[in-house]
Amino acid sequence: MYERDPETLWRRVGAGVVLLPPGAAAPLPLGAFAARVWQLLSSPTNARSIRDTLMVEGSLTGEAGTRELDRVLTLSSR
Amino acid sequence: MSRHRLSGFLLAAIEDESLPATEQQVASAIGLQRATMERVLTLDRLMLSAVERLTEAGLPHRLLKGCAHAHLLYPDPSLRPYVDVDILVPSESFASAVAALETVGVTRVLPELRADFDRRFGKGATLRAPHGGAVDLHRTFVAGPFAMWIDASSLFDHFVSLTVGDMEVLALATEERCLHACFHAAVSDLEPALISLRDVVQAASAPALDLDRLLRIGGQWRALSVIAKAVTTAWSSLEPEGEPPLARWARSFEPSAKERRVLRAYEATQHRWAHQAVAGIRAVSGVRSRIAYATAIVAPSRRAMAWRGRSAEHRLGRVQNPLVGDPQADETGDPPTQ
């Protein structure tokens, strides 16, 4: 299961999001794909559910998309 | 755009297509808002450290302005940028709060004018972080006469809480928050940032606002003219839709001659701090207190003088005639948080 780290500070910026996870040296600006993942993490969920939702929406395609999803999940959740 | 802290509203207007923009303009607006929000998040981290430290030290506190307004007055906190952290502490805890905050790495910018000035008469003090950002530690909302008339201890009687990260933070109650927005818009800055006027609109339009309670407190603080000025200025400048009861009240309010005179101390275009300081002398109760206040203004401690690098004679000459110079202006040219 994944969920937002409650200690991570964040703000929406247009379609993107800026995160400041605990311990990070500087804020992380993330694009629209990551912002959608962040939105999906507003309640505890599993990776498969997130992946399925993104695939239905057409924003997750191919190997590169899966790698990006894994990266964002590592950055933004616990 | 940056001075008025409107990057969030700019981007929102582009997003809902009420403001047409080219691709380049959209990219610029996103870049500006991203940089602004990165700074805001860094400030939130500083704020959480400060609040945690004050809590550990057992010192009461209330979050003011920026972060509190962003979360409590606006539908999306991204609409409300800020440039520092503002925290209110009780007068009697002021020195302890400065000491506690210095353990989280912030350092007081200006020394106290004279011993006990902060606790008795001061607005507050600025504590700077080494890598940017600052905590404005407040004893009250503003300097000058209103610093004596605002019942700062009553600001701790009520609160609302907000969650930032995983921490619950206490802020002023609805009416007190509206009053602070009015003070900031009406008397803190000569030309308030438009976001400060927007704060007034948001606070005045809050469904939970109890108008009777607001005006009762405002009357006790002799601040009805401040409320009226802030609200009428906000409505005439921003022309928001609708007119809540507070805006209707403000439109019909007529300040007395005395209220107008007090406001003028805050409207001086030059040497504002000196005008406010002199006007403050009249507001101090008791002869001894009045002498202590005036002495601190005219003859600050050696340490305070040394920091500013000015001679007592130079200072005395300027305070005696506030129209000649501003003896207390800090490096920004604004009246100091002192």
Between B20-24, B52-56, B215-219, B300-304, the lowest mean confidence (pLDDT) is in B300-304
Mean pLDDT computed over A70-75: 84
Cβ contact A11–B45 (<8 Å): no
Q: Which two tokens stand for residue A43?
A: 């309640």
Reduced to 3 states, what is the DSSP secondary structure of residue A3? coil
Burial class, B56, CB count within 10 angstroms (exposed 0-12 / middle 13-18 / buried 19+): exposed
What is the dihedral angle through the alpha carbons of B162, B48, B119, B72, rounded to the nearest 10 degrees? -20
Q: Which two tokens stand for residue B4?
A: 């008025």
CA distance B17 to chain A (A): 13
Cβ contact A6–B166 (<8 Å): yes
Higher local confidence (pLDDT), B4 or B175: B175
Cβ contact B40–A26 (<8 Å): no
Cβ contact A27–B42 (<8 Å): yes
Q: pTM value? A: 0.89
Q: What is the 3-state secondary structure (H, E, C) of chain B?
A: CCCCCCHHHHHHHHHCCCCCCCHHHHHHHHHHHHHHHHHHHHHHHHHHHHHHHHHHCCCCCEEEHHHHHHHHCCCCHHHCCCCCEEEECCHHHHHHHHHHHHCCCCEECCCCCCCCHHHHCCCEEEEECCCCCEEEEECCCCCCHHHHHCCHHHHHCCCEEEEECCEEEEECCHHHHHHHHHHHHHHHCCCCCHHHHHHHHHHHCCCCCCHHHHHHHHHHCCCHHHHHHHHHHHHHHHCCCCCCHHHHHHHHCCCCHHHHHHHHHCCCCCCHHHHHHHHHHHHCCCHHHHHHHHHHHHCCCHHHHHHHCCCHHHHHHHHHCCCCCCCCCCCCCCCCCC
**Whether pLDDT at B125 is above 80:** yes
CA distance A45 to chain B (A): 19
pLDDT of residue B309: 66
Q: Which of B248, B247, B245, B264 is nearest to B256 (CA)?
A: B264
What chain B residue is nearest to A21 in terms of C-alpha separation?
B165
What chain A residue is nearest to B16 in terms of C-alpha separation?
A14
Residue B142 phi, psi dihedral angles, 5° rounding: -145, 165
Residues of chain A contacting B, Cβ within 8 Å: 6-14, 16, 18-20, 26-27, 29
Q: Determine the Cα–Cα distance for residues B159 and B77; give it in Å rounded to an integer.
A: 19
Choose among A8, A12, A27: nearest Cβ to B38.
Answer: A27
Cβ contact B30–A9 (<8 Å): no
Which position has the token pair 């990776």? A47
Percent of chain B residues topping a pLDDT of 90: 78
Higher local confidence (pLDDT), B24 or B319: B24
Amino acid at B303: R
Q: Which of B169, B172, B144, B145 is nearest to B158 (CA)?
A: B172
**Whether pLDDT at B112 is above 80:** yes
Mutate which: B78, B167, B168, B169, vs A, most A CBs within 10 A: B78
What chain A residue is nearest to B45 in terms of C-alpha separation?
A9
pLDDT of residue B334: 41
Q: Which two tokens stand for residue B28?
A: 């610029």
* Mean pLDDT for all residues in chain A: 89
Domain ranges of chain B: 43-172, 177-255, 268-333
What is the dihedral angle through the alpha carbons of B311, B316, B321, B323, rounded to the nearest 10 degrees? 30
Higher local confidence (pLDDT), B131 or B13: B13
Higher local confidence (pLDDT), B211 or B323: B211
**Whether pLDDT at B313 is above 70:** no
C-alpha triplet B314, B116, B83: angle, nearest 5°? 80
Residue B314 banded pLDDT, cuts 50, 70, 90: low
For A34-52, what is each residue's pLDDT tens digit?
999 999 999 999 988 998 9
**Whether pLDDT at A59 is above 90:** no
**Whether pLDDT at B330 is above 50:** no
Q: Which two tokens stand for residue B152?
A: 């700062």
Cβ contact B15–A6 (<8 Å): no
CA neighbours closer than 13 Å in the CB half-sphere of residue B190: 14
Mean pLDDT computed over A54-78: 83
Mutate which: A10, A17, A18, A39, vs B, most B CBs within 10 A: A18
**Whether pLDDT at B323 is above 70:** no
Q: Are A38 and A19 in contact (CB under 8 A)?
A: yes
Residue A18 banded pLDDT, cuts 50, 70, 90: very high
Cβ contact A20–B78 (<8 Å): no
Beta carbon pairs, A and B, within 8 Å: 48
Residues of chain B neighbouring A12 (CB-CB closer than 8 A): 76, 78
Q: Determine the Cα–Cα distance for residues B328 and B280; give it in Å rounded to an integer.
A: 14
**Whether pLDDT at B244 is above 90:** yes
pLDDT of residue B70: 97
For B209-237, what is each residue's pLDDT tens digit?
999 999 999 999 999 999 999 999 999 99
Cβ contact A7–B165 (<8 Å): yes
Residue A67 banded pLDDT, cuts 50, 70, 90: confident
Kindly state the DSSP code that residue A73 receives in the 8-state scheme: H
Cβ contact B41–A6 (<8 Å): no
pLDDT of residue B329: 41
What chain A residue is nearest to B28 in terms of C-alpha separation?
A14
What chain A residue is nearest to B39 in terms of C-alpha separation?
A27
Choose among A14, A19, A26: nearest Cβ to B33.
Answer: A14
Choose among B34, B45, B78: nearest Cβ to A20.
Answer: B45
Q: Determine the Cα–Cα distance for residues B324 and B154; give it in Å rounded to an integer.
A: 37
Percent of chain B residues topping a pLDDT of 70: 91
- Fold exhibited by the domain B43-172: Beta Polymerase; domain 2 (3.30.460)
Q: Are B162 and B176 in contact (CB under 8 A)?
A: no
